[in-house]
A and B are shown apart, each in its own frame.
Chain A
Amino acid sequence: MATSPALDVPAEPPLKRRKVSPEPPDITTQVADLAEQLDAQERKKYVKGAKLGSGQYADVFSAHLVSDPTKLVAIKKIKVGPEVKEFGISYDSLREIKFLQELDHPNIIKLHAVFSTKNQNLNLVLEHLPQGDLLKLIQDVGGVQYTSADIKSWMLMLLRATHFCHKNNILHRDIKPNNLLIAADGSIKLADFGLARSMADPFQPMTYNTITIWYRPPELFFQAQHYGGQVDVWSCGCVFAELVAREVMFRAWPETEINMVKMICEKVGTPTEENWPGVSKLRGYVTPTEFVPLRPRDQWLASFRTIGEQGVDLLVKMLTLDPRQRLSAEGVLRHEFWTSEPRPSRLKDLPRRGGGVETMGEDLTQRGAELPRQNGRADKVARKIDFGAMK
């Protein structure tokens, strides 16, 4: 069973080689302490497969359960790099582990387990999400078409995830389309909690240098160190607009903070004491050169007609300058948009990526005693749970 212990090398494609991480046959580990035993138990549950991606900080592998090869997972192996010497295990990894362990929601990526391998590598066993992310769908203008019902469906899932985080007093602080992964059944999963943090107590300052710049709300540009869930709601609003227009709403070039503020002023309006009392007291408040009044409703409607009046109303309330007047996640969910026509698309009707991924999905989802395959569409056969009427 054990391959040579000296080679803790990830399996190379083709992926049929069965690889189990070996334990060094040392005398001291024959009576391993409980912690190690539990860890080893966890590690042995999985069979690592092909490398799906590689980055600066981590590699991602496909894997499946030893006990049930149809149950796929993704294993994110965090690299032990040179910065470890300075900080030990990185803040990002710690945050991701800490928060994902506590959150259990259908629209948040599930962290099944964590285990370690030889060389003290952290391995996060995550949900397997083969359909890529929302960004790819948005950008594939030629290949993928979607309706306003689809947008409503995705936004509803995103907001549910955000609301759940906030109810658990966690700010995600990095909501953007490439962190919204698509599951096999079509649902959206919020991922990447590397920038998340627990909501602060009064007088406890937080960093304002967070959230990817295009999705960052004005209060953070103005260096507010005390903020709440509304920062995430702004990001969600940006995603909403991007889904409609199929391009980033606040895409300043060059990507400086000044330019971003300028762009927000142009597209939403200039923040003033009148529309945002107290804004001038924020340390980073910059008085714009020319004053742009708040963009009138009919202009918003002109640009975002697809989502209808209700949709535009909601969008405007999510992209409100003053965070106190901006809707909270709960407020967004209470808006009439979700219960008005059209209904949010059902999961199985949501568009997917191109056929290539589906084929892979089909390959990896070999099951015994299958339903007969009709027209070979993997999503019709392999699906286990139908969320149907968006429960």
Chain B
Amino acid sequence: MSRLAQPKTSPVIKRDGRMGGGAGGPDGELHNDIRRMNLDQTQSTNADLVATEICPVCKSSRYLNASLRFLVNPECYHKMCESCVDRIFSHGPAPCPIPKCGRTLRKHRFREQTFEDLRVEREVDIRKRVAAVFNKREEDFENLRDYNDHLNDVEDITFNLIEGIDVEETEKRFEAYKQANSREIEENAQMAAHEKQSFTQQQKVERHQAKQRREAARREEEEERREAEENRKDVLKRLASGADADTVAKEGQRVQLRKRMDRQAAAERQRQLQAAEDARNNGSSNFVIKGLKAKTKAEPEEPIDPFGGLRFVDSYYSLQDDYVWEGIQEAKKDVRQTAGGYDVMDYARRSLVAAFSGLGVFVADEVTQRDQVGQDAEAVGTARADIGVKDIGMVDAA
């Protein structure tokens, strides 16, 4: 049966968009489950506690090395310390050193553990993977019933994957859905990304505005206090100079009131100006309505990308730390070259890019296609010209 539980254990959870799984069960039940899981752990012996502090591969402990960091690989979820990862996997893929595992692991897939319990980590990874593909929303369905049915199916798949039931079969279903809905998946993913961006932007704006309000309030308070003080002094002075107490008091109050109103009017004008300025800059309204359904309208101010949207990607190779070839080694040793700023690794990179530049370019096909397009464009051009000529001949009635 499907599990509607959603693990929300350690405070390190990263909130990213919506995770597939939708309507969760009552929190209390969920909480108990989690507590039970944690309890299982804490009921473990001292030995286990120590075990979490020692790298299973090199046996170095946190007691001796305070900055020891553990990494885990989603291939087999075995964890080991950072230096072991460096040592073992820097030169390329290698088998997992945990005895009886031996699966081939890659360095770039290692990452830090987010949850204490590795089982939870694994489950969360699986859920993330599933959610990335099954990202349909409530609006995409005719009615609530259909939506919940869909969620049920998704949870079935997830459960199977987590518990290791019929994995091959389930994977096939997974792939099938992915292939069939690739376009929608992409669209939904983009929408989610947009929303996230505008959400963080909104938060920023909100925070900024809140800060401004706070400061404005504080300033006002200061002003008021100062004015009150001034006024009081003024009143005292007048009283001292023998004016009528009542009138002076009333005057004083009126003056204070007027000053306050003036100040508030000025502040209001400032706010309006600022809002106008903000509006010009941010294109967003002065109000930030919470909970409003985010529209997919692109924000006019995107974060600055220093690379201007251009990304160079190495798809056939990755630069290694060093190359044994003597050409490289000799160049590295030559002080005249290195002191001048010549970096031989730039040359290595250049050579490797050159080695594969065009490997996947099928000249005959692409050239033929290009010529074809050229011809078509010409044909279209002449066709339009024809039409144009005909139009001239047309006579306007009226």
Contact = CB atoms under 8 A, between A and B. Distances in A.
Establish whether A and B are touching in the complex (CB under 8 Å). yes
Nearest to B331: A202
Nearest to B327: A202
A66 to B, nearest CB: 15
A106 B307 CA distance: 12
Interface string B23-53: 0000000000000000000000000000000
A203 B350 contact: no
Contacts of B304: 338-339, 343-344, 389-390
A88 interface: no
B308 A226 contact: no
Nearest to A159: B306
Contact of A227 (B301, B327, B341): B341
Contact of B306 (A202, A231, A339): A339
Nearest to A340: B304
A304 interface: no
B12 to A, nearest CB: 26
A347 to B, nearest CB: 12
A225 B336 contact: yes
Contact of B340 (A323, A388, A391): A323
Interface string B330-371: 110011111111111011001000000000000000000000
Contacts, number: 98
Given A199-B346, A339-B306, A277 B327 contact: no
Contact of A202 (B305, B337, B339): B337
B303 A282 contact: no
A230 interface: yes
Contact of A282 (B305, B310, B339, B344): B339
A224 B336 contact: yes
B340 A282 contact: yes
Given A338-B306, A339-B303, A339-B304, A226 B350 contact: no
B321 interface: no
A297 interface: no
Interface in B219-270: none
Contacts of A276: 339
Interface string B294-306: 0000001111111
A156 interface: yes
B309 interface: yes
Nearest to B350: A169
A226 B306 contact: no
Nearest to B328: A202
B314 to A, nearest CB: 12
B287 interface: no
A85 interface: no
A132 interface: no
A22 interface: no
Contact of A156 (B302, B306, B336, B339): B306
A81 B334 CA distance: 43
Nearest to B340: A224
A231 B343 CA distance: 12
Given A224-B336, A333-B307, A389 B341 contact: no
Interface in A147-173: 156, 159-160, 163-164, 167, 169
A99 to B, nearest CB: 16
B312 interface: yes
Contacts of A100: none
A164 B309 contact: no
A202 B338 contact: no
Nearest to A217: B341
A279 interface: yes
A147 B165 CA distance: 64
A324 interface: yes
A339 B337 CA distance: 35
Nearest to B343: A228
A389 B300 contact: yes
A104 to B, nearest CB: 11
A278 interface: yes
A281 B343 contact: no
Nearest to B298: A389
B309 A391 contact: yes
Contact of B341 (A106, A230, A281, A335): A230
Interface string A222-245: 101111111100000000000000
B339 A279 contact: yes
A200 B331 CA distance: 12
B247 to A, nearest CB: 53
Contacts of B344: 202
A224 B339 contact: yes
A201 B342 CA distance: 10
A202 B336 contact: no
A231 B341 contact: yes
B284 to A, nearest CB: 14
A219 interface: yes
A365 to B, nearest CB: 25
A219 B301 contact: no
Contacts of A98: none
Contact of B335 (A219, A278, A388): A278
B306 A224 contact: no
A282 B302 CA distance: 47
Contact of A228 (B307, B310, B312, B346): B346
A335 B346 CA distance: 20
Contacts of A343: 301, 304
Nearest to B308: A160
Interface string A179-203: 0000000000000000000011111
A277 B339 contact: yes
A251 interface: no
A167 B307 CA distance: 12
A344 B304 CA distance: 8
A390 B341 CA distance: 32
Contacts of A323: 340-341
Given A106-B308, A224-B341, A231-B341, A281 B302 contact: no
Nearest to A338: B306
Contacts of A278: 335, 338-339
Interface string A358-391: 0000000000000000000000000000001111
Interface string B273-304: 00000000000000000000000000011111
A88 B301 CA distance: 52
A353 interface: no
Interface in B128-165: none
Instruction: Give the top 4 A-B pairs by smallest Cβ distance, nearest first.
Output: A323-B341, A224-B340, A278-B339, A226-B342
27 contacts: A106-B308, A160-B310, A199-B346, A199-B350, A202-B327, A202-B330, A202-B331, A202-B347, A203-B337, A224-B340, A225-B340, A226-B336, A226-B337, A227-B341, A228-B341, A228-B342, A230-B341, A281-B336, A282-B336, A282-B339, A324-B338, A339-B303, A339-B306, A343-B301, A344-B304, A389-B300, A390-B305
Interface of B: 300-310, 312, 327-328, 330-331, 334-344, 346-347, 350
Given A202-B344, A339-B303, A390-B304, 7 more contacts: A219-B341, A224-B336, A224-B341, A227-B340, A227-B341, A228-B341, A282-B340
